[in-house]
Amino acid sequence: MDATKLLNTIEKGESSKVQFKVRVNDAYKLGTEIVAFTNTKGGMIIVGVDDKTGELKGLSFKEIEETNELLANAATNNVKPPVFITTETVEVEGSNLIVAEISEGVSKPFTDNKGIIWVKNGSDKRKVTSREEIAGLLQSSGNMYADETIVQGATSDDIVIDFFDKFVLKKTGRQRKDLALSIDDILLNMGFMKEGQLTLAGLLLFGKNPQYYKPAYTVQCISFVGNEISTTEYRDREEPFEGNLSELFEQSISFITRNLKKVQVKEGFNTIPQLEIPREPIEEFVVNALIHRDYFINSSVKIFIFDNRIEIISPGTLPNTLSIENIKSGISIVRNPVLFSNARYIVPFVGVGTGIPRALKIYPDTELINDEKKEQFIVVLYRKNNS
């Protein structure tokens, strides 16, 4: 690493991706730090810097040798499974510092040699104990998908048969009765059932009342007066919407469209007014919020309408290494593969990565926010005529 660049990093202080150590002498403690980095977004440990003042405390030749050996030992013997780290000695203002770079892991969750899972929490770290967060780490490494998990107690009796029959006809081109299989067998073959119980995908797509089993998976819609969420005034508000994904989609679109203005876009008294924000991008972002949200987070999708914007907020940040720049160019990573591959038969969803670029082209006054601190992905559609 270039000395000037490293000094600039040090001057900015510690963060969730940068940690300072004056000296290191405990392989286990060092292992916990490496675990936290590799379970989160990766980062670097800079040895030879005071973590309280940022003052440079350069290492001697012997200390450099010992530190490199300790780092290798920690990454190999105190991290399970072992990880590969790179180290480099950089001279900054006459002081020799060691920079250890740790990549984000692909086999999460990693643990220390006592079996404890650590993640970064700002510039510090914390233990992970909740099943939901552990499942989230498994999901991020591609070892578990929320929509494939079993919903305890949910069976084929919990699905809307007529709705499922229409889905089967659209997907296979055949009537369900012509498949010569029981409903349970069809659900099993399509990935909507395991061990005689519905998967989360099966419940969300066809359930009579998914919220009986998963009460947090609703959509909350509020139309506020003004532009601040702290206001106590609202124009329109309902109890959280419930139902399967098709019903949640229809209710959400209905709420948004009835709270938008209709504007005249062509001259002539008899021309048909259109929504101030085109319907297609609205549908695209609502569908994405339902299909791509993180279902390991027990929270609702939220749609807030302000005088100058609409916010569509879905639980969970972008998965893995996906970035806003990636999705703007049509790159996608599937978080919920069963929902992803079957949603096109029940809601306006193509699922080939073109939806967001197309929506942004139709309505450029759109902002995408990947809020890692709040674990949310936010789409902001600015209302031109109300700014």
Encode pLDDT of 235-282 as tens digits.
999 999 999 999 999 999 999 999 999 876 666 555 667 899 999 999
pLDDT of residue 378: 97
Measure the CA–CA gap between 35 and 247, rounded to whole angstroms: 42
Torsion of CA 8, 9, 13, 15, to 10 degrees: 150
Q: What are the tens digits of pLDDT across the range 26-57? A: 999 999 999 999 998 899 999 999 999 999 99
Which domains can be identified in the chain, with CATH numbers?
Answer: 3-129 (3.30.950.30), 147-208 (no CATH), 219-386 (3.30.565.60)
pLDDT of residue 387: 47
283: burial class by Cβ within 10 Å (0-12, 13-18, 19+)? Answer: buried
The 10 Å Cβ neighbour count of residue 330 is: 13
Share of the chain above pLDDT 70, in %: 95
Q: What are the tens digits of pLDDT across the range 93-124? A: 999 999 999 998 888 889 999 999 999 988 89
pLDDT of residue 386: 58
Measure the CA–CA gap between 338 and 195, rounded to whole angstroms: 17
pLDDT of residue 139: 73
Measured between its terminal Cα atoms, the distance across the chain in Å is 46
302: burial class by Cβ within 10 Å (0-12, 13-18, 19+)? Answer: buried
Measure the CA–CA gap between 161 and 268, rounded to whole angstroms: 48
- Which structure tokens are listed for 293? 């949200």
User: Once rounded to an integer, what is the mean pLDDT over residues 341-355?
Assistant: 81
Task: Decide: pTM greater than 0.85.
Answer: no
Measure the CA–CA gap between 96 and 272, rounded to whole angstroms: 72
pLDDT of residue 152: 94
